[in-house]
Amino acid sequence: MSEYPSVNFLYLNEEDMIAAGVKDMKGCVEAMEEMFKLMKVGNYRMGGANGNSHGSMVSFPESSPFPEMPVDGPDRRFMAMPAYLGGKFDMAGMKWYGSNVENKEKGLPRSILMLTLNDKDTGAPLAYMSANILSAYRTGAVPGVGFKYFARENAETIGIVGPGVMSKTALAAAMAVRPSIKTVKVKGRGKASLDKFIAHVKSEYPGVEVYAVDSIEEAVRDSDIVSVSTSSPTGDPSLYPYIAEEWIKPGAIIESTAALRFDEDFIVNRARTVTDNIMLYEAWEEEYAPKAYNTVPIPAVYVQDLIAEGKMTSDQIDDLGDVLTGKIPVHRKEGEIVIYSVGGMPTEDVAWGTMVYRNALAKGIGTKLNLWHTPQMMV
């Protein structure tokens, strides 16, 4: 967009993002699949000394002598998530967001997210875009890649635990890759959120049966796919949502973007653990040892703790990228139960943001803004 030294960039608000195709779930799943392949061969960088950090978080103390300083609360944080992704994307960028559950009292989302895309050589901004929908769709599309490979070809029933935004997009991904789905069961905490989710499913997928269940067990039993996305306090794993082995249908995939707990014997001896990016979980284990699962409550983090304790070995955890590149088989045995952990990575935002940005350029969508015509200070 720019003829240096003049620097221009494209601003995309939420309506622009929708017009540019941010809700194209099929395309988003394809972008995530390509991203995982690039990551498997190392054509990416994220933050941290190990190049695999989820991001850098600003949290707040429980109390402060400074009256203007925020204090700790549910989902109270700021976070920066930088990355570079190569291949057909060949883009650097960063998602930045602030989060506060009290936003809902103001009619705002819990988190407000923006994505900046930058020229990989100069660092100049190329785009600055609304990222709430983008982040939700890429978060749903990552489970979708797992569903595409591990779920039964004729999967008919999906159990949803947590009827929030992430579950809506995970369901959209499931429907995109398994259009055979006929039944949606949903477990939630409150009637209002359940009613809203059920109305959404009836509107988006006419003819699909959807109903609420009273327990996680009911959501899991007889389901070919289970998607878990709940908001749970961390610190005490005994309080994380729990799934018993006997509830799970043979051949099912259970996907989790949030806190989830299984019995140790099941995880060690019979479940197949798959990660979206094994190095992300290794980085978490390094950052939060010795009990990373107390801080990051995703099932594969628990497996990393068990490996650190000598109760499991590293060959008992599989990486999605190895499946996509053919290094390991899609299924290791018939009727296996796959526990698929989704951690979330800035490469996902950069991947889907790049595709939406290019669509916007091609369609003339968005507002062109100028950073400078000539920089006034040369550092």
How does pLDDT run across 196-217, given as a tens digit for each residue? Answer: 999 999 999 999 999 999 999 9
Tell which wins on pLDDT, 145 or 164. Answer: 145
160-210-193 Cα angle (round to 5)? 60
Q: Average pLDDT for residues 153-160, to the nearest whole number? A: 97
Per cent of the chain over pLDDT 70 is 99
Mean pLDDT (the chain, rounded)? 95
Q: Which of 120, 55, 128, 54 is nearest to 84 (CA)?
A: 120
How does pLDDT run across 228-273, given as a tens digit for each residue? Answer: 998 778 889 999 999 999 999 999 999 999 899 999 999 999 999 9
d(CA 84, CA 31): 15
Name the residue with tokens 């569903």. 147
Structure tokens at 158: 């999906």
Res 283: pLDDT: 86
Res 347: pLDDT: 97
**CATH code of domain 140-345:** 3.40.50.720
d(CA 158, CA 171): 8
Whether the predicted pLDDT of 2 surpasses 70: no
Q: Which of 269, 361, 352, 353 is nearest to 313 (CA)?
A: 269
Structure tokens at 353: 């943001």
d(CA 128, CA 349): 12
Res 230: pLDDT: 87
How does pLDDT run across 293-331, given as a tens digit for each residue? Answer: 999 999 999 999 999 999 999 999 999 999 999 999 999
Structure tokens at 67: 């009256």
Res 62: pLDDT: 94
Q: Measure Cα distances from 253 to 162, 227, 348, 379 in Å.
A: 17, 8, 22, 53
Domain ranges of the chain: 7-134+347-369, 140-345
Beta bridge partners of 256: 228, 341
- Name the fold adopted by 7-134+347-369: ornithine cyclodeaminase, domain 1 (3.30.1780)
How does pLDDT run across 325-357, given as a tens digit for each residue? Answer: 999 999 999 999 999 999 889 999 999 999 999
Q: Which of 157-166, 180-189, 226-235, 336-345 has the lowest mean pLDDT?
A: 226-235
Do residues 350 and 92 touch, judged by C-beta distance below 8 A? yes
